[in-house]
Amino acid sequence: MKIFSEDLVEEARIQNHVADLSTATIGEVLLVAQYLEQKTGIPFIRMDQGSPGLPANHYGVEAEKAALDRGVGSQYPAAAGITELKEAAHEFVKAFINIDISARACVPTTGSVAGSFGSFIACTQRIKGKDKVLFIDPGFPIQKSQLRVLGIEWKEFDIFNYRGEKLRDKLEEELKDGEVAAIVYSNPNNPAWICLDESELKIIGELATRYDAIVMEDLAYFCMDYRRDLGHPYQPPFVPTVARYTDNYILMLSSSKIFSYAGQRMALVCISDALFDRHYPAFEERYHDSGIFGPTLIASILYMITSGCTASTQYGYAEMLRLSCEGKINFVEDTREYERRANKMKKIFTDNGFHVVYDRDVNQQVGDGFFFTIGYKNMSGGELLKELLYYGVSCISLSTTGSLQNGVRGCTSRMRDELYPVMEERMKAFNKDHE
């Protein structure tokens, strides 16, 4: 039996000015769920927004407090970032990825959203006529929204049928016209939680070099492929990255998930030294600066967006990175709760007629973590999203992420122990009603 009537859900849609629930954004679904929860007092199983569900790392909090007590709040921070954070970032990348990126090329941004926004501008302006972005989907919908704001065109393809060596021909097909300036993906993937393996990253890197495209590798869920024993500084296995196979890369490292520091909006773009120092006449002409990629990105683009990053938060992030390199913070174990939640939640769904949509990587079953994908029979993602709302479960359709598969994305971050039996009862009712 449905928890919320169709009329009540329709009322929530209208009151929150949502045009179509089947294609609703994360924010729109969130508003509808909140409306229904507040009006009825009935708790929702909130699988919509990927906001951290763990406490902020206390080392970062204390370092921020200390920085403010020292008076850093009275001065503008340098556009390129404070020295302590840049050096800690260089060491962190070496410790966990085993890649050398100089401190000068590690640049703080106000979250990876600002990092990708600025990087999209730089990548698509550096060479005239080379101005499109290629998304290896499914992916983070906000990034396409950024391109709409900027007026930048993009290409996309769903990787579902192009895993392993199949990726090479598909990628080359998209790159061969020479118009692609940047290639974007997340690893582990939001929303599918698939992970590109070394062979796939090698293909991406080789073709990025051949066609002079910059790979924007989003590492928001850093070391969160819990199937591997990652997270031990200076010890293999190291985090897989395209940076081993090309000099054309920008790594985006966010504090939001690995340190549960989302509220402070702090991330890094770590740029290969070769790209950081590369000269582009188009930059020199447009910005009347040196035309060098790194300084142009920092001073002529990122600074125009946010005027630098909050100084105290930079000190907090620097401390968390530094202590991670020293082994005093084990952020992988700190976030492993998401793996446990995903395992329980996926079992409840699959026990009640659902299936995991993106269920495999190249040679193994997809892991458990922050996100997962589910489908039900032949329902489209939009249909399933709406139906789940009637049973008090909120999520987003995979169609909004560039996926061509039927299903929805679920997030584990807001799940609580007392909600598992509630969820199980509701999904049993869902399955019975849809037999």
Q: Sheet harboring 354-356: ordered strands across?
A: 354-356, 371-376, 408-411, 396-397
**Global pTM exceeds 0.85:** yes
Cβ count near 274 (within 10 Å): 13
Q: Which residues of the chain are modeled with pLDDT < 70?
A: none
d(CA 187, CA 218): 6
Contact residues for 221 (Cβ-Cβ < 8 A; gap 6+): 186, 188, 190, 257, 258, 369, 370
For residue 3, give the 3-state DSSP assignment: coil
Domains annotated on the chain, with CATH: 6-54+334-433 (3.90.1150.100), 60-325 (3.40.640.10)
Q: What's the confidence (pLDDT) of residue 49? A: 87
Main-chain phi, psi angles of 4, to 5 degrees: -115, 135
Tell me the pLDDT tens digit for each residue of 113-171.
999 999 999 999 999 999 999 999 999 999 999 999 999 999 999 999 999 999 999 99
Q: What's the confidence (pLDDT) of residue 103? A: 98
Instruction: Read off the tokens for 247.
Output: 């000099």
Q: What's the confidence (pLDDT) of residue 435? A: 87
The CA distances from residue 101 to 36, 208, 222, 230, 322, in Å, are: 48, 19, 17, 20, 16
d(CA 309, CA 417): 36
